[in-house]
Chains A and B, each alone.
Chain A
Amino acid sequence: MAHEHKLSIFRGTLTFKSNITKIWGVFVLLSIITVIEVAFGIIKPEFLTENTFLAMKLLNWIFIILTLVKAYYITWDFMHQRDETKGLRRSVVWTAIFLICYLVLILLIEGDYIYEVYQNNYIKFDF
């Protein structure tokens, strides 16, 4: 079997000499992202918790975006999706992303609706 690795990340900006150096490079990247996440989680800058974008705190947007970045590099470089054919990559990634987005959207809207019902009806919940 031929094992050819694509050694460029960041859309070709950074090219590694070998697959092993790429692995360590991706590890450093993932570590930096995790450190940033933990630092934000401990410090919780007020500016980011008080301002919202599309009904979500900016801090939570940062967390979710950084998580997706990490997920991308784990899937693309550790799980070698970068080296697979487009067909395999898309049948795995697009299917999962579509179904998960759909599920999350439906359930969060429903949860928020039930919260409103609890708030506005005449049944007492805090006793």
Chain B
Amino acid sequence: MDATVAKTGTEGKTWGGGNQPLKASYGKMMMWFFIVSDALTFSGFLASYGFSRFKFVDSWPIADEVFTHFPFLHGVDAPMYYVAFMTFILIFSSVTMVLAVDAGHKMQKSKVVLYMFLTIIGGLIFVGSQAWEWNTFIKGEYGAVETKGGKILQFLNTEGERVAISDFAIPIPSAKENHLDSNGVWYEQEGTITSFSFEEVKAGFMANDDLLIRTQYYDENGVPTVLSREASITKIMNDGKLVVEGANLRHNEYGSPLFADFFFFITGFHGFHVFTGVLINIIIFFNVVIGTYEKRGHYEMVEKVGLYWHFVDLVWVFVFTFFYLV
């Protein structure tokens, strides 16, 4: 038996790592097991989204009434189209990625460069779209009133169309004064000031007889309950507390604040993955350009970063279904 440094004495043996039952390189295998663990993190997020939704199943916001916007189309009701567009961008960037991997196998450097570049562009378009969607969601559209119990009341006209609070609120001159350091050392930071106060919205609501309130609870047909004019007045007089515009981690004009929390965490965590994916893609792209893998004799690094990139696409397929469709 010729013992050399390179050999471990386990060649051909079943135990001890002698043969390679999985026939994959160390790096690729570890990328796969990283993906498994990351998939479990994402499923933790999505499963807890499902948990919260089942917990408040009679009052959860309907996603295609929330995400109805499309860039440059103001006031056009376009549910789903923008998310569908984002899905296509990501699937297409997956295609260019897998084409880059394929070109890498054939050692076609210039093709790898081209396809990696397209993949990076696709990733950037996706992250940009997500930023736009966050912006729209945070700004909100119609505004709503939050009750003392933290429930959301939205405003409709008698035709059942949504009405923005800015369309009916009656401005009341108020002597609002800022608390300054000179008046006292200790004070708490004021919360966000909405464009109209609750009193102004209430006054406007009382003055317009054709306004009704829609609660976040579903009726027996599975659509949010619309109260009669009398019930609406009672509701806003007794329970109304503050005006909510848009969404943040505490308040959400579309319904349960948990919906906004999960939106920010799930799409944010996914967006962060896309962002890091783009960064890693850029690093690999430059390595390809300077010929690192050409010298190494194989393009396995492109394949590994490709696995990560496809995983990001895979996660989006699930986020798309469970956040926007179901």
- A interface residues, Cβ below 8 angstroms from B: 1, 3, 19-20, 23-24, 27, 30-31, 34, 37-38, 40-42, 49, 60, 63-64, 66-67, 70-71, 74-75, 77-80, 84-85, 87-88, 91-92, 95-96, 99-100, 103-104, 107-108, 110-112, 114-115, 118, 124-127
Contacts and interface: CB of A to CB of B under 8 A. Distances in A.
B239 to A, nearest CB: 6
7 contacts: A34-B91, A63-B321, A74-B314, A79-B311, A85-B24, A111-B50, A126-B149
B22 interface: yes
A37 B94 contact: no
A34 B23 CA distance: 34
Given A41-B325, A42-B80, A127 B91 contact: no
Given A100-B39, A108-B51, 16 more contacts: A23-B99, A42-B64, A63-B321, A64-B321, A64-B326, A67-B320, A75-B314, A85-B21, A85-B22, A92-B33, A103-B44, A107-B48, A107-B51, A111-B53, A114-B54, A127-B149
A87 B98 contact: no
Contacts of A114: 54-55
B218 interface: no
Contacts of A41: 64, 79-80, 324-325
For chain B, give the interface size range.
Answer: 35 or more
Contact of A115 (B24, B54, B217, B314): B54
B269 interface: no
B39 A34 contact: no
Nearest to B20: A85
B324 to A, nearest CB: 7
| A40, A42, A111, most chain B CB atoms within 10 A | A111
Nearest to A127: B149
Contacts of A60: 326
B151 interface: yes
B307 interface: yes
Contacts of B64: 41-42
